[in-house]
Amino acid sequence: MLAPLKGIRVLDLTDSIVGPFTTRLLTGCGAEVIRVESRLHLGFRRNGPWGPAGNGPIPQAPEKLIDFSKVDTKLLVSPTFGQYNHDKLSVALNLSKPEGRGLFKRLVRVSDVVVDNFRFGVMQKWGFVYAGLKELKDDLIVVSLQSLGKGPSQDWATWGMNLLSFTGFAYGWGHPDTPVTERTAGGFHVDYIAGAETAVAIMAALIHRANTGEGQYIDVSQAEAGACVLGPSFLDYFINKRVAEPRGNRHPQFAPHNCYPCQGEDNWCVIAIFNETEWQQFCHALDDPSWTKDAKFQDMQSRLKNVDELDQNIERWTKQRTPHQVMKILQSLGVAAGAVQNGEYLYYDLQLRARNFMMEQQVPRLGKVTSPGMPVRFSLEAETESRRAPVLGEHNDYVYRQLLGLSPEEMDKLTDSKVIF
């Protein structure tokens, strides 16, 4: 039995995280994804791992910094690039040249899906609008994965932080006393949300095509993808005309529900209790101390009213234990609790290791690199070893010679003229 998308070919003209994450989900479902890229724009190929707040590359010791002028650019595979592009193919193609655009059109004819996340206007400049691409292959699925989607603001350029602020993520991030200027969500949350939703949309379009023979154009707004998961904030204003403010890790309806300090430096656990049965089990785990019998904590409303004192009492217990001790004790009694895991904890996590989630691959220039794999397993598809992310143009022969039928002489000529570049 084949993986669900086996036999589907995707042309990937994406960079950063949202696009590569989208197509990475497709490769995980069996699709053949061909990255169409060029030395003229290396993008995330040359970016190192990003810092905790998403504010820039993690600082490295001077002796470890790379002099890119002395590195063959086709070999550049940064950890960031490798995480989102393993199992893909790469073809070098200079789309700024007419011959390059001609080769791309030939690729379209033998493909099923085209995905780009260029700023609006780039695909139009090259003549790769949906109507034109559809003429090359009538049942083609074309996806534009842009910041805001088509509309009055379609020309806007954004980055992770722009979208987090625009969608309302950043405003609601933090604790009740966090100043607006410090409410920074960091990271690329919207990229992952939009990427997952785009992958689902592509699969839906493939099902529609299988049933009707029709391809279609998919217009994705990253901002809308992010905003749609903030439903309670929207409803609070639509119904109550009230702007939702940050509330930290607490919940307006349940208590205890917070992140608590544990034994050691900067170690934390989370505990969430949703009913009286769980509360009784929680009290039992603490050996039923006298404070748990106080009327101030006898039901959910009382605990919410006295949540500050409640959390102080719980902290005295959690501070005497490690995060994983708290998690194991409470989980054994059916109480939702978890350790706040850092990178080290995740690297050695037994559950992740048991599922072969951590991939170790040999990457050119970097050596052995460990990165996250796919979070899903298909029972009808035998597990295969994941391929590392490709170096630039690694699969030129397969794409140009086997798929398009170019001769070695034609390839040499196109390489010399920097069309294959």
Tell me the per-residue pLDDT of 29-40, one tens digit each, with 9 for 90 and over. Answer: 999 999 999 999
pLDDT tens, residue order, the chain (421 aa): 468 999 999 999 999 899 999 999 999 999 999 999 999 988 777 665 544 444 444 444 444 445 555 656 666 788 888 889 999 999 999 999 999 999 999 999 999 999 999 999 999 999 999 999 999 999 999 999 999 999 998 888 888 778 888 888 889 889 999 998 888 766 789 999 999 999 999 999 999 999 999 999 999 999 999 998 888 888 999 999 999 999 999 999 999 999 999 999 999 999 999 999 999 999 999 999 999 999 999 999 999 999 999 999 999 999 999 999 999 999 999 999 999 999 899 999 999 999 999 888 888 777 888 888 888 888 887 777 789 999 999 999 999 999 999 999 999 999 999 999 9
Residues 137, 270 within the same domain:
no
Instruction: Name the token pair of 416.
Output: 């010399």
Q: Is residue 126 part of a domain?
A: yes
pLDDT tens figures, 169-195? 889 889 999 998 888 766 789 999 999
Residues 173, 39 within the same domain:
yes
**Residue 385 DSSP symbol:** P
CATH number at residue 272: 3.30.1540.10
Q: Which residue type does 220 have?
A: V
CB 141 within 8 A of CB 201: no
CATH number at residue 116: 3.40.50.10540
Query: How far apart, in whole angstroms, are the C-alpha atoms of residue 301 and residue 320?
Result: 28
CB 256 within 8 A of CB 311: yes
State whether residue 12 is helix, strand or coil. Answer: strand
Query: How far apart, in whole angstroms, are the C-alpha atoms of residue 166 and residue 150?
Result: 16
The number of domains in the chain is 2
Report angle CA 411, 395, 368 to the nearest 5 degrees: 140
Q: Is residue 421 part of a domain?
A: no
Neighbours of 71 (CB within 10 A): 12
Query: How far apart, in whole angstroms, are the C-alpha atoms of residue 170 and residue 185?
Result: 5
The closest of 85, 84, 106, 110 to 8, measured between CA atoms, is 110
Residues 19, 110 within the same domain:
yes
Residues 262, 331 within the same domain:
yes
Q: Which residue type does 56 have?
A: G
pLDDT confidence of residue 135 = 98
Residues 373, 327 within the same domain:
no
Please state at what angle helix 18-28 crosses helix 189-212, rounded to 10 degrees. Answer: 50
Residues 290, 372 within the same domain:
no
Residues linked to residue 337 through DSSP beta bridges, in sequence order: 271
Q: Is residue 1 part of a domain?
A: no
Last residue of a domain, one of 342, 364, 392: 342
CB contact set of 326 (below 8 Å; sequence gap of 6+)? 260, 262, 269, 271, 318, 337, 339
Structural domain for 173, as ranges: 9-228+355-416
Residues 51, 189 within the same domain:
yes
Residues 222, 368 within the same domain:
yes
pLDDT confidence of residue 27 = 96
Residues 383, 313 within the same domain:
no
Q: Which residue has the tokens 């009694």?
A: 333
pLDDT confidence of residue 57 = 45
pLDDT confidence of residue 61 = 43
pLDDT confidence of residue 52 = 44
Q: Is residue 249 part of a domain?
A: no
Q: Supply φ then ψ for residue 351, to 5 degrees.
A: -65, -45
Last residue of a domain, one of 308, 342, 376: 342
Last residue of a domain, one of 342, 371, 401: 342
Residues 21, 162 within the same domain:
yes
Residues 29, 148 within the same domain:
yes
